[in-house]
Structure 1
Amino acid sequence: MGTPDLTSHPLLTRLPPLQWWHRVTRDTLKADLIAGVTGAIVVLPQGVAFAAIAGMPPVYGLYAGMVPAIVAALFGSSWHLVSGPTTAASIVLFSMLSPLAEPGSELYVRLALTLTLMVGITQLALGFMRLGVLVNFISHSVVIGFTSGAALLIASNQLQNFFGIPIPPGSNLIQAASHLAGHLDTLNPWITTVGLTTLAAGLLCRRLLPKIPYMIVAMIGGALTAWLLETLLPTPTGITHVGALSAQPPPLSMPDLSLSTLRTLAPGVVAVTLLALTEAISIARAMALRSGQNLDADQEFIGQGLSNLIGSFFSAYVATGSFNRSGLNYDAGAQTPLSATFSGVILIGLVSLIAPLAQHLPNAAMAGVLFLVAWGLIDWHHIQKTLQASRSEALILISTFLGTLFLNLELAILLGVMLSLGIHLARTSHPRVSFRIPDPEHPRRRFMSASQGTECPRIRIARVDGSLFFAAIGAVQKQLEQHAPPQIHLVLVASGINFIDLSGAEFLAQEAGKRRLAGGSLSIVRLKELPRATLERGGFLKTIGAENLYNAKLDAIQTIFTRMDPAGCAACPWRVFAECEAITKETPEPTARILPLSPPLAA
């Protein structure tokens, strides 16, 4: 007996490390450790900034990048997604809680932690309910547009740190660029020099020393440049730094589980949950697209849920996937989720040991690094292919891109998803209906398009490719009845129909009854098992008649000819089928004059 595969057990499949642990080697550990160090350094200033946006004390932004990052990495499915505080989640948190408590107060923090717990439980429930299929409605074009727009937002948010020109809070890309252009005379040359030096160091390292993590080199280059300028110049340079941080590790916390608090926060849980999941899954898909990974959306829901549920007991507010830190993680060479795990653990160590040294890291250097990350997030290759290949996908991409720049992040994704759904429904609601006739020139009389010849005035052969559901019935019926008068016998080739809903089943039953009253019939050829089961369960197959289901068109046509009036066929001048000739030879000349049928229109 062979050794059983424990990883296939239903419970153990929810332990992602069992699925990727075989990929861990000495080389990947080294790469993940370097990526983790880089990510931990980057999250230091970001966490403080995001906490301020959320109305939380600054150190809570760092707490949100510790335990949640570790849990999400170990229980999610993405190899490169890094969870923690984000701009979007921070803004939504502030908008929800600021009317309930004073930002930064003890009550405010307690409400934030309680909301985080509730969001985590909701996300976890959605994952176990296997609703990760919802992510399939976020198309490739949505991800590309969203990623590209987010890259510009990341860059625009760093303009003031790069050039030393204050930009009004809440400015969008155009407003930030316009304000920058109008105030170039106030540009700080020393801050800009630090930013440019950081960019140059990163680009040179990336080109000349690809095995060395260019982002760490870029940060060191920027920090050294700032130190030299501040040391050598006799006047103040105006260069700002991240600043000293608290050395306290994440303390244990207890959310408020009182019924009144839960009721107060309940209405906003759904909005925060959907935003956090949409952001995390979109970023995870973007990273999977770059790495070639197959993403398990259900498991990602579970990972995000556990990260917020457990994080709420370690002083972390709502965490979700971070675009810039995930992009940074990938570009820094991360190979497995251990990189994000290392990042969370190292961040705890940094805060405990060397957080005060962050006061020597210039904000301009951080801006330069994030510029490099933003550039790497733009998928120029797929953008070009999408714009060239499909107008509808190009519309989705451009709309999502512009929405990301000028709308809220969640609205931009929703816009892209709605456009994708709309285009998909427009396509599926118009199944392809093609009409066929035998080719008289072919020795085996294979079927060809009816537009190349003449259809039989009594029998029509139609093939439907697509689902027969409520939105498609009208389009199919219109195409079947485009001739006047329609043929009374219809042979429907159903091998291209994968799904039939209640409306589709009723349509077929009505079509069979209508043609039976007219003296004709509905014959269905090569009906698949699933659509047939729908007809049987609903009792529609009794109306259609199980005897009218066939495995081949030839069988259906031969059966129809046994039901037709031989005299009428004998008077017909169009010999479409081989059976027509046989009936003509067997039928005696009529004693009375039989009027010929009107010639059918070409399909």
Structure 2
Amino acid sequence: MLHRSRKYLLYHLLPFMQWKHLVNRDSTRADLMAGLTGALVVLPQGVAFATIAGMPPEYGLYAAMLPAIVAALFGSSWHLVSGPTTAISIAVFAAISPLAEPGSPQFISMVLTLTFLAGLFQLILGLARMGVLVNFISHTVVIGFTAGAAVLIAASQVKNFFGLDIARGVPFHVVIEQFFLQMGNINPYVCAVGAITLAVGIAAKKFVPKLPYMIVAMVVGSLAAHLINAEFGSSVTQIKTVGALSVGLPPLSMPDFSYATLHNVLFPALIVTMLALTEAVSISRAIAVKSEQHIDGNQEFIGQGLSNLVGSFFSGYASSGSFNRSGVNFEAGAQTPLATVFASFFLLLVLLLVAPLASYLPTAAMAGILFLVAWGLIDFHHIGAISKISRAEAVILWVTLLGTLVDLEKGIFFGILLSLALYLYRVSRPSVVPYVPAIDKGAYHFVNALGRPECPQFRIVRINGSIFFGAVDFVRNALLQIDEGNPRQKTVMVLARGINFVDVAGAEMLEQEARRRRKLGGGLYFYRCNKSIYQFLRKADKLDDIGVGAFFPAMSNWIKPIYATLDPEVCRSCKARIFTECNEQLPNGEARTS
């Protein structure tokens, strides 16, 4: 037992010990190939995502190096690849751009502080075993937020795609307003480069899916810009380029721990924390469906937390699990998390070779790539399906999406609140449905009473849900309506198998209802009550008022003691006779004569 507990602790402190036995010559060969593929995929994405975040391009690549290694070694998924993502990048930009000039030393320092805090929050949540929190962020909210973020990404690149003079970081509605006001100033040369890049990217993705379409589009866009400059001159075209990337290992960095910075980035860090954890856990679970691997949400929290903590000191901004790179990693045949480790080393080698070429990459071409990224983020299929299936879910979707366009952080926050409010509204209204015993000989089950005769003195109802403080009034009113609709139905039996749990407020309501029905001359009974609920009622000292004899286990003879409490005069003239006892004798024991 002691050995087992030590092994369990070791696996949580050093989770990579769980898969070390999988490493062999074949797996290493597969991981090397998957790692090379991953490095080629992350190169253009890292630059693009850093641009979205308002960071220098190389910071997106730094976030895909050491942080990705840490997340792979200390997470639970064997295929999840961490690094910069579009949603996190747009969240970072939206949070920090009002506080500092994007790309400036102050901006970078504040982003590193946000990354540190996000990592710290993630680590604390993981150690506190709070992985269940991500379950409260509904899929609808994520779809709405992602779509809104995609529109913001596209809006942030309007100036670069069309060559317009629009201030960086202005709200979405200002971008739209300025675009229409400056339509006459669109630079045709810049726009041509962006359009060519966009067209080539779409064509490459559709017709040559095996090639990295982003790299193909970037190369063609850069060549188009070179030819246009050669023909008309750079002074006329005014085509700007990204600029050369820094070459080398990720430099050491230091977050800004001043009170003012911590105060300003605290709330955005919480938003990034939940968003990043939602991405990482949902992606790892999605891939685990295919790989048949068990995912520990708490361990993923720890891995992501350590990843961002380390990244904040090695020039990496906030990162999370990437669906694109994780999917590529799995499809490329990765066997262990070593594929991510290899990808980070390959990325460094590739960066050394291609970094100088970034000085030829036009910002318009990068804008075209980001338009492609933004389009791919909008889940049109699920947006259409949600709008058709559920009006309430559609409201959550559009509130989140439109709220994100107004204020990204508050958009997802209000989406989560609205989603939780809808959930609470649903669970606060458990179904209370009338049932009657099945007429089959020897049957112990019940059937819906709709269209069937019921006892005029005795109502059987099935409650599906939980009787907690939020549902107490609804359940109480449903029970009151029974005798208001038929004053003679003073006795009620609850089919309690569908009751999940009862809290203190629910227990008090049941106690009060039992007393009320006894005063009316009836009673409150329970059939197939869960053992945990019965024990809770006993612990809360409610059984004295409800009555120990009011609880009947499955397949017990519940009708005999209840039938004996009914009014024989009502039974004498009753034509329903839904119980076997009704045809044999009256409740007082008198034999039936007719």
The answer, yes or no, to whether TM exceeds 0.5 is: yes
Cα pair distance change 1:28/1:62, threshold 3 Å: closer
Deviation at 1:544?
2.2
8 Å contact from structure 1 (residues 470, 501) kept in 2:
yes
Q: Which whole-Å CA distance do the structure 2 matches of 1:372 and 1:265 have between them?
A: 34
Per the alignment, residue 399 of structure 1 pairs with 399
8 Å contact from structure 1 (residues 526, 552) kept in 2:
yes
| 1:316-355 → structure 2 map (5 Å cutoff) | 316=316, 318-321=317-320, 327=324, 330=327, 341=341, 344-345=344-345, 348-349=348-349, 354-355=354-355
Partner residue of 1:516 out of 510, 515, 518 = 518
Per the alignment, residue 532 of structure 1 pairs with 534
- Alpha-carbon RMSD across the aligned residues, in angstroms, is 3.8
- In the alignment, structure 1 residue 133 sits paired with structure 2 residue 132: yes
Cα pair distance change 1:254/1:229, threshold 3 Å: closer
8 Å contact from structure 2 (residues 92, 111) kept in 1:
no
- In the alignment, structure 1 residue 33 sits paired with structure 2 residue 36: yes
Deviations along 1:22-47, whole A, 9 cap, x unmatched? 69674564344233233234434653
Q: Which whole-Å CA distance do the structure 2 matches of 1:474 and 1:366 have between them?
A: 58
Three-state SS of the structure 1 residue aligned to 2:462 is strand
Aligned residues: 569
Cα pair distance change 1:130/1:539, threshold 3 Å: same
Q: Which whole-Å CA distance do the structure 2 matches of 1:10 and 1:561 have between them?
A: 58
Q: Which moved more, 1:513-522 or 1:463-472?
A: 513-522
Cα pair distance change 1:224/1:18, threshold 3 Å: farther
| 1:189-268 → structure 2 map (5 Å cutoff) | 189-234=188-233, 236-247=236-247, 249-253=249-253, 267=263
Letter of the aligned partner of 2:542 in structure 1? F
8 Å contact from structure 1 (residues 491, 556) kept in 2:
no
Cα pair distance change 1:296/1:309, threshold 3 Å: same
Cα pair distance change 1:552/1:5, threshold 3 Å: closer
| 1:5-404 → structure 2 map (5 Å cutoff) | 9-13=8-12, 26=29, 29-44=32-47, 46-47=49-50, 50=53, 63-64=62-63, 66-76=65-75, 77=77, 79-83=80-84, 86-93=89-96, 104=105, 116-234=115-233, 236-247=236-247, 249-253=249-253, 267=263, 270-284=266-280, 287=283, 293=289, 296-316=296-316, 318-321=317-320, 327=324, 330=327, 341=341, 344-345=344-345, 348-349=348-349, 354-404=354-404
Deviation at 1:572?
4.8
Q: Which whole-Å CA distance do the structure 2 matches of 1:570 and 1:326 have between them?
A: 71
Cα pair distance change 1:277/1:334, threshold 3 Å: farther
Cα pair distance change 1:58/1:33, threshold 3 Å: closer
Cα pair distance change 1:306/1:552, threshold 3 Å: closer
Three-state SS of the structure 2 residue aligned to 1:304 is helix
Deviation at 1:163?
1.8
| 1:456-535 → structure 2 map (5 Å cutoff) | 456-482=455-481, 483-484=483-484, 485=487, 487-535=489-537
Deviation at 1:345?
4.1
Q: Which whole-Å CA distance do the structure 2 matches of 1:109 and 1:200 have between them?
A: 33
Q: Which whole-Å CA distance do the structure 1 matches of 2:52 and 2:381 have between them?
A: 33
Q: Which whole-Å CA distance do the structure 2 matches of 1:18 and 1:376 have between them?
A: 37
Letter of the aligned partner of 1:471 in structure 2? G
Three-state SS of the structure 1 residue aligned to 2:434 is strand
Q: Which whole-Å CA distance do the structure 1 matches of 2:263 and 2:566 have between them?
A: 66
Deviation at 1:527?
0.9
Q: Which whole-Å CA distance do the structure 1 matches of 2:261 and 2:233 have between them?
A: 55
Deviation at 1:350?
6.0
Q: Which whole-Å CA distance do the structure 1 matches of 2:283 and 2:4 have between them?
A: 29
Deviation at 1:245?
3.7
Three-state SS of the structure 1 residue aligned to 2:237 is coil
Q: Which moved more, 1:18-27 or 1:527-536?
A: 18-27
Q: Which whole-Å CA distance do the structure 2 matches of 1:148 and 1:20 have between them?
A: 36
Q: Which whole-Å CA distance do the structure 2 matches of 1:93 and 1:295 have between them?
A: 33
Query: What fraction of aligned residue pairs are identical, expressed as a percent?
Result: 40
Deviation at 1:296?
4.6
8 Å contact from structure 1 (residues 567, 587) kept in 2:
no
Q: Which whole-Å CA distance do the structure 1 matches of 2:31 and 2:204 have between them?
A: 20
Deviations along 1:451-497, whole A, 9 cap, x unmatched? 42443232111110111111111111211221322622211100111
Q: Which whole-Å CA distance do the structure 2 matches of 1:277 and 1:80 have between them?
A: 17
Cα pair distance change 1:263/1:539, threshold 3 Å: farther
Deviations along 1:267-288, whole A, 9 cap, x unmatched? 5564243122122134336646
Letter of the aligned partner of 1:305 in structure 2? G
Cα pair distance change 1:191/1:412, threshold 3 Å: same
Q: Which whole-Å CA distance do the structure 1 matches of 2:338 and 2:225 have between them?
A: 33
Letter of the aligned partner of 2:375 in structure 1? W
Three-state SS of the structure 1 residue aligned to 2:243 is coil
Letter of the aligned partner of 1:30 in structure 2? M
Q: Which whole-Å CA distance do the structure 2 matches of 1:419 and 1:202 have between them?
A: 38
Letter of the aligned partner of 2:472 in structure 1? I
Deviation at 1:118?
4.6
Deviation at 1:346?
5.0
Deviations along 1:418-474, whole A, 9 cap, x unmatched? 11111111111111111123467x666874443424432321111101111111111
Cα pair distance change 1:311/1:28, threshold 3 Å: closer
Three-state SS of the structure 1 residue aligned to 2:584 is helix
Per the alignment, residue 546 of structure 1 pairs with 548
8 Å contact from structure 1 (residues 328, 373) kept in 2:
no
Per the alignment, residue 579 of structure 1 pairs with 581
Structure 2: 5+ residue runs without aligned partners?
A: none
Deviation at 1:331?
7.0
8 Å contact from structure 2 (residues 288, 295) kept in 1:
no
Cα pair distance change 1:43/1:295, threshold 3 Å: same
8 Å contact from structure 2 (residues 63, 83) kept in 1:
no
Letter of the aligned partner of 2:129 in structure 1? R
Cα pair distance change 1:283/1:502, threshold 3 Å: same
Deviation at 1:506?
1.5
Q: Which whole-Å CA distance do the structure 2 matches of 1:372 and 1:334 have between them?
A: 23
Deviation at 1:69?
3.8
Cα pair distance change 1:471/1:486, threshold 3 Å: farther
Letter of the aligned partner of 1:139 in structure 2? S
Deviation at 1:178?
3.7
Deviation at 1:588?
7.0
TM-score by length of 1: 0.82
Cα pair distance change 1:162/1:345, threshold 3 Å: farther
| 1:587-602 → structure 2 map (5 Å cutoff) | 587=590
Three-state SS of the structure 1 residue aligned to 2:356 is helix
Three-state SS of the structure 2 residue aligned to 1:460 is strand
Per the alignment, residue 600 of structure 1 pairs with none
8 Å contact from structure 1 (residues 36, 339) kept in 2:
no
Cα pair distance change 1:47/1:387, threshold 3 Å: closer
Deviation at 1:364?
1.7
Q: Which whole-Å CA distance do the structure 2 matches of 1:292 and 1:312 have between them?
A: 29
Q: Which moved more, 1:87-96 or 1:333-342?
A: 333-342
